[in-house]
A and B are shown apart, each in its own frame.
Chain A
């Protein structure tokens, strides 16, 4: 499949919060980096290269990797590169790190994603991602398109607000088991979600992810180095990306075709026939409650239109056959440049069996998914053993 097998051998996450006034950006990045280095029991000098992910417009720092890679991570006199693809930044970063090691160019790399949104403004930034003439006056930012998608999805398949609210209830109560999660709401109810403020029909306040500050760092190694570092790594089986039209509205927006394209390719390469049976857990990037239902369809966990039913039957609950987002997902924690990397980190944690209260029993294979851009998807599968 690839020239070298690549494993996650060290993981670090900050506690995610709405504001981290106690630290500046490099200090926040350093927290996650230090945890990952300690986890892998590596010295900074043992890292060959650093891959950083951050949406530099959101904090207003150009070449933020040259700042944080040196001041918050051990990048001095090492290769430092930044990958930035919007919401998918974290997964694009995870995939870039994979190719750095799989190619044989580097043996051990540090992958870091972060965002500190109170130092800037995410929406101000995201609006400029859209075409200044055609899109910006009508459909810019994150919320508008996501509301449109939720509305079209619900109209096509008859998904109800109550079914969507159940996603928030599931994920935010899962988050109570995750010490790093931002919004931990063990006692949240469907009524509470459904009576929250309407933001953009049909999305209410609690149908939508928060904005969080924090960083996530992973260390990858090749076969030989992995053996030296740990006897409990999480191996990458496959990494896949599917992008889409510049104008997301060039196609109907009731579903997410890129997740279908990327996951089908990934399942084929990883020998997955039935994802719900062959995989044990998924960490997916659901920016809204409605999108988790829709994405579970697009990823082939159920048939189109049956995302609501999948959750109604309890399959994606912690106690279900195929738990989705044991960490609490994006509805609980959303540090944009790190969000999709947290999915990969949490999938690795599940494979390693280190999820403590959020651990799904006997995980052999886990899926992580990133979402962003103009309806882009990235799918990564990790396993206890290398694929070959």
Chain B
């Protein structure tokens, strides 16, 4: 595969309700910051790929409102309706197809505009499931319960994910929730969908992220620390929850296998230095460890108890604080890519993993990891 490099990336601070900014202004903030940081102008950008979701924004053709902000007047822009990781790979494809030298990828979400529980209910089909009232909370409860039942993973182990990610978020200036919490606070928080409690879930955040991609020679000219795409895999699980194996993330497992194959990774724990994953609830992160092959099926609980995914563990997961700390839903996947890029560039400041050379980013669409995108990146 030819090389596609991440030249630079920018993020907003993630917050609960950015009432002083429209979502176009959020996008403009990261685009302008990207221009300034890289010393480029709009003319240096070949085309733009955005990611957003009309439901989350409460606007049809949600990318129409950000044309001025992304500078695509007379220029090509296209929009992946879904998670930002999928927008990243579409942007990379536009370089690999030799159609553009540079592509800017932007993702935004302003969760405060719309009731996100109602939005998530509309993911369920209108004929059979929607009127049952399913949403991301109740379906996560079903998944977590089945998983814990099958493998004997405990609520304590799940709470450790929250503790870890919230603690990591203290080192990330962009993170939304920056307050250390105790295991008792998690375990005693309000029950939402057994066995998951309020603090097992992420907040809803407003924010945006932007990134410039370039083909090999251009990327090398624009930065001393380009971050290269090494592997990619994508896989979609069954739609109906009843058709899925709810105790294992099959779609993610297959996407990861494909990405490892492309990146020639045999032993992920040894070969990957840092992971940023889209964990939508505490137990979800444990299931993600297993699907990524970081530990054996059912061993996610033991894996976090052993401290393997802590900042100083054998494979740190979510040094940024992950989705449990900042959750501008559609942008989550592209934030994961941006955070891995910062790690591999050695520019992650207080959340930096020393000598990170290979990183993994995971973005997902839909309910309980239905649509999966795994990306492997390398520095140098």
Contact = CB atoms under 8 A, between A and B. Distances in A.
| Physical interaction between A and B | yes
A85 B79 contact: yes
Interface in B109-123: 119-120, 122-123
B97 A4 contact: yes
Interface in B42-86: 47, 53-55, 58-61, 63-69, 72-82, 86
A1 B99 CA distance: 7
Contact of B90 (A2, A67, A96, A245): A96
B74 A125 contact: no
A241 B75 CA distance: 7
A373 B61 contact: yes
A181 to B, nearest CB: 26
B145 interface: no
A49 B232 CA distance: 13
Contacts of A49: 234
Contacts of A257: 74
Contacts of A374: 64, 67
Given A56-B81, A66-B365, A245-B68, A85 B61 contact: yes
Contact of A104 (B1, B58, B75): B1
How many residues of B sit at the interface, in one of the four size bands?
A: 35 or more
Nearest to B91: A99
Nearest to B92: A103
B146 to A, nearest CB: 20
B98 interface: yes
A113 to B, nearest CB: 13
A79 interface: yes
Given A82-B80, A125-B60, A63 B99 contact: no
Interface string A70-96: 110001111111111110000010011
A62 B78 contact: no
A56 B55 contact: yes
A340 to B, nearest CB: 12
Nearest to A75: B236
The B interface, classified by DSSP as helix, strand, loop or mixed, is mixed
B106 interface: no
Contacts of B370: 63, 66
B373 to A, nearest CB: 8
Contact of A240 (B2, B76, B365, B366): B76
A373 B64 contact: yes
Contacts of B95: 103
B110 to A, nearest CB: 13
A126 interface: yes
B236 A246 contact: no
Nearest to A95: B78
A63 B66 CA distance: 21
Contacts of A66: 123, 236, 239, 365-366, 370-371
B237 interface: yes
A30 to B, nearest CB: 14
A305 to B, nearest CB: 22
A242 interface: yes
Given A71-B125, A103-B96, 15 more contacts: A24-B127, A60-B122, A61-B125, A62-B120, A63-B366, A66-B239, A76-B237, A77-B237, A78-B235, A79-B234, A98-B97, A102-B93, A241-B78, A244-B74, A373-B63
Closest 6 CB pairs of A and B: A79-B234, A103-B96, A102-B97, A241-B76, A86-B61, A84-B81
26 contacts: A49-B234, A56-B54, A61-B125, A62-B53, A62-B123, A63-B53, A63-B82, A63-B365, A67-B125, A77-B236, A77-B251, A78-B235, A81-B371, A99-B93, A99-B99, A102-B96, A102-B99, A104-B1, A104-B96, A104-B97, A105-B232, A127-B60, A129-B60, A243-B75, A244-B74, A246-B67
